[in-house]
DNA sequence: ACAAAAGTGTTGCAAGTACACCCATGC
DNA sequence: GCATGGGTGTACTTGCAACACTTTTGT
């Protein structure tokens, strides 16, 4: 329930609206995908866009991102991080809309929300507003971040094989990595807990399953041994 | 001149205000300093704060940061980059204010604006709002960024000595660096243009002057040889 | 000649890269 | 027994860290 503006004498009148939009990434098939929703109304009616909505009175930006994402797509308990704020005055034809963009990473199997689809990066349609630019920026950040922090695990199932991690990295970075070197480096961080169970799929030796160890990772962060942005 | 909200049927009413605040860093003495201004009015009247103001209708966020900074402090032609957006609903007692924070780096000699002062990090006063947190975040970003990109040159005079660069780095990072290793690494980037002239100060051998070569730096960025955030 | 800062190379270590074969399982 | 992907070690290269002396100038 917004108080009238007159109750806030020090605050100027502004015709600026604040929206919170999220680029949602997931790995599906062996491809990096982005969640797009189709706009039912003008402007850009019929075009696809990244999910988003307007911030409400009493909520923080993080909370708004979470709420909007759940409302629009049904996705919950996903990794969310603020990306950048886009404020060009002409980016929305309706008027002045400033968008705080977030990145979300969801684990497979990622449900497909109604009115949404998982688009591959190779076959992106024309997007509404300046969403193409936002997406490009998000992708760049994801790639950079992947090299310094184990953010990639947020795109994997809770239990995964080393091969799975490597495939994910290769997909996102768009280049192939040496198996032995990759495994050595990954294990040398000591943030993976091997499980007793293995993944039995196909006519070949089953691969050991691992879990990401949040605690050890937090420990490393606190000791400043890692780059975290 | 804002159009009435009724002309924008698709935009919701929002009582959210958008401010753009900037953490201004400079090197003075041999210390990293932050520009603080004293608040003349409530809330937090008399307290010091980082300079900032409200965004206007037709301007981009970058433009707003530039304008506000010049209006409040008289500083122009400084390096500006967006830091993060802070949107906790209780961060301003007047109501909902979302702040897009920027970092600015200014070269010496940095003029001291009226109603402002350059505070050292060692002796920071209690700041208004959540500005202490914003400042802490900015400092962290500055330090990280220094290690991957030559932002540091934005804090130096146009012409500088290698010693000058090293002093700057040591100040900001808070640790001492090996002279030979530092020089080798810096020169190996090939982004410094040595000048014929030298800096003659004091009873000892004068040091060669250098300039930062923006062009070569842009070239490296495009080739993807460098980490740029 | 001496005080003061500028400038300069080498060695050891750690991390990264390149590279090829045996192992366990299902069919 | 063979096809399929899982799992492992070693040599080379490169970048980073540690370390001390000579050079140039002003006084």
> pLDDT tens across B124-168, in order?
999 999 999 999 999 999 998 988 888 999 999 999 999 999 999
Unique residue bearing structure tokens 């991690």: A165
- Tokens found for residue B18: 């958008």
Mean pLDDT of chain B: 91
Confidence at B12, pLDDT banded by 50, 70, 90: confident
The pLDDT of residue B8 is: 56
**Domain limits of chain A?**
14-131, 148-222
CATH of the domain spanning A14-131, picked from 3.40.980.10, 3.90.1150.50, 3.90.79.10, 3.20.20.70: 3.90.79.10
Indicate if CB(A201) is under 7 A from strand C: no
Contacts of B77 (CB under 8 A, 6+ apart): none
pLDDT above 70 (res A179) = yes
A87 touches chain B (CB under 8 A): yes
- Specify the 3-state DSSP secondary structure of B176: coil
- Of all residues in chain A, the percent with pLDDT exceeding 70 is 93
CB-neighbour burial class of residue B184 (10 A; exposed 0-12, middle 13-18, buried 19+)? exposed
Q: Measure the CA–CA gap between B181 and B178, rounded to whole angstroms.
A: 5
The pLDDT of residue A199 is: 84
Q: Measure the CA–CA gap between A43 and B31, rounded to whole angstroms.
A: 51
Confidence at A224, pLDDT banded by 50, 70, 90: low
State the alpha helices, DSSP H only, in chain B.
Answer: 61-73, 131-148, 162-173, 179-188, 214-222
Residue A112 C-alpha, separation from nearest chain B C-alpha, in angstroms? 27
Chain D, protein-covered positions (CB within 7 A) = 3-10, 16-20, 23-27
pTM comes to: 0.92
Q: Measure the CA–CA gap between A101 and B36, rounded to whole angstroms.
A: 29
Q: Measure the CA–CA gap between B214 and B220, rounded to whole angstroms.
A: 10
Indicate if CB(A179) is under 7 A from strand C: yes
A148 touches chain B (CB under 8 A): no
Confidence at A221, pLDDT banded by 50, 70, 90: confident
Q: For the segment A31-55, what is each residue's pLDDT rounded down to a tens digit?
A: 999 999 999 998 999 999 999 999 9
Unique residue bearing structure tokens 């698709």: B10
Confidence at A228, pLDDT banded by 50, 70, 90: low
Sheet holding B192-199, edge to edge: B159-160, B207-212, B192-199
Q: Taking the mean position of all CA atoms in its chain, how far away is CA B210? A: 22
pLDDT above 60 (res A6) = no
- Tokens found for residue B168: 């700057």
B120 touches chain A (CB under 8 A): no
**Superfamily, domain B13-147:** Nucleoside Triphosphate Pyrophosphohydrolase (3.90.79.10)
CATH of the domain spanning A148-222, picked from 3.40.50.300, 1.10.10.10, 3.40.50.620, 1.10.3720.10: 1.10.10.10
Mean pLDDT of chain A: 91
B65 touches chain A (CB under 8 A): no
**Contact state of A61 with B85 under an 8 Å Cβ cutoff:** yes
The CA R_g of chain A, rounded to the nearest whole Å, is 20
Q: Which fold has domain B158-222?
A: Arc Repressor Mutant, subunit A (1.10.10)
A229 touches chain B (CB under 8 A): yes
The pLDDT of residue B30 is: 84
Which candidate from B11, B87, B98 shows the least CB-CB separation from A95? B11
pLDDT above 50 (res A57) = yes
Region of B46 please: left (phi>0), alpha (psi -120 to 50) or beta. Answer: left
pLDDT above 90 (res B219) = no
Q: Measure the CA–CA gap between A85 and A99, rounded to whole angstroms.
A: 6
The pLDDT of residue A176 is: 94
**Contact state of B14 with A88 under an 8 Å Cβ cutoff:** no
Residue B209 · residue B195 · CB < 8 Å: yes
Q: For the segment B178-198, what is each residue's pLDDT rounded down to a tens digit?
A: 999 999 999 999 999 999 988
**Contact state of A57 with B85 under an 8 Å Cβ cutoff:** no
Contacts of A64 in chain B (CB under 8 A): 87
**Contact state of B95 with A3 under an 8 Å Cβ cutoff:** yes
Which of A184, A193, A186, A228 shows the shortest CA–CA distance to A213?
A193
Q: Which secondary-structure segment (H or E) carries A173?
A: helix A162-173
**Contact state of A85 with B88 under an 8 Å Cβ cutoff:** no
- Specify the 3-state DSSP secondary structure of B184: helix
CA A185 / C1′ C15 distance in Å: 10
- Of all residues in chain A, the percent with pLDDT exceeding 90 is 76
pLDDT above 70 (res B207) = yes
Q: Which of A140-149, B5-14, B69-78, B114-123 has the lowest mean pLDDT?
A: B5-14
Contacts of A223 (CB under 8 A, 6+ apart): none
Please count the other Cβ atoms lying within 10 Å of the Cβ belonging to residue A136: 14
């Amino acid at each position: 329930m917004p108080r009238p503006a007159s109750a806030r004498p020090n605050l100027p009148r502004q015709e600026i609206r604040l929206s919170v939009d999220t680029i949602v990434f997931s790995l599906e098939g062996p491809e990096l995908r982005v969640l797009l929703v189709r706009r039912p109304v003008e402007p850009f009616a019929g075009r696809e866009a990244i999910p988003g909505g307007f911030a409400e009175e009493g909520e923080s930006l993080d909370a708004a991102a979470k709420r909007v994402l759940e409302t629009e797509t049904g996705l919950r308990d996903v990794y969310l991080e603020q990306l950048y704020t886009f404020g060009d005055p002409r980016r929305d034809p309706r008027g002045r809309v400033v968008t705080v963009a977030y990145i979300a990473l969801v684990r497979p199997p990622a449900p497909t929300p109604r009115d949404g689809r998982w688009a591959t990066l190779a076959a992106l349609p024309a997007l509404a507003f300046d969403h193409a630019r936002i997406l490009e920026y998000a992708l760049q950040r994801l790639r950079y971040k992947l090299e310094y922090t184990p953010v990639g695990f947020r795109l994997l199932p809770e239990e995964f094989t080393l091969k799975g991690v490597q495939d994910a990295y290769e997909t996102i970075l768009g280049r192939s990595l040496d198996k032995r070197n990759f495994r050595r480096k990954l294990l040398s961080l000591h943030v993976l807990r091997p499980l007793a169970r293995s993944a039995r799929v196909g006519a070949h030796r089953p691969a050991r399953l691992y879990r990401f160890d949040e605690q050890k990772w937090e420990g490393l962060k606190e000791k400043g041994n890692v780059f975290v942005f």
